[in-house]
Amino acid sequence: MTDVAVSLRKAEAEFSLKPGARLEIEAIRRQIRSYGFTPTWLEFTVRAELIAHEGKPTLKLLETGQLIRLVENPQLDALRKALAGRTAKVVVTAVISEGEGEVATIKSFTLTDM
């Protein structure tokens, strides 16, 4: 992790990963716990491609090829509609809640031609 900023007032921490580093959810949670905090959710922004993997909607991160499964929700439906007939690359902000393993919920997205 790089560029770590913690706000006790907001009860949140913000950080960046080194380019090419995988998004290791459990390692990030352990690191946050090591500072005495309990992570209830992790929000992240990634450049990705929307794919189906084993029949499930999945983000394939462009830098690492890492796969992150997605929860069905209205934002995922909106993303599918926005991508109809287009290249499936997107910048996504998603959330993984505690207890959800590594399954993410899309919060917002921006289409891109990268």
Confidence at residue 26, expressed as pLDDT on a 0 to 100 scale? 87
The three state secondary structure string of 24-88 is: CHHHHHHHHHHCCCCCCEEEEEEEEEEEEECCEEEEEECCCCCEEEECCCHHHHHHHHHHCCCCC
H or E segment to which residue 12 belongs: strand 12-16
Q: Which domains does the chain have, with CATH numbers?
A: 2-111 (2.40.50)
**pTM for the whole thing?**
0.84
Confidence at residue 100, expressed as pLDDT on a 0 to 100 scale? 75
Confidence at residue 34, expressed as pLDDT on a 0 to 100 scale? 84
Confidence at residue 61, expressed as pLDDT on a 0 to 100 scale? 92
Confidence at residue 114, expressed as pLDDT on a 0 to 100 scale? 60
Give the separation between CA 92 and CA 95, rounded to whole angstroms. Answer: 10
What is the full per-residue pLDDT of the chain (114 aa) written as tens digits? 667 777 777 777 777 788 888 888 888 888 888 878 888 888 899 999 999 999 999 999 998 999 999 999 999 999 999 988 887 789 999 999 887 778 999 999 999 876
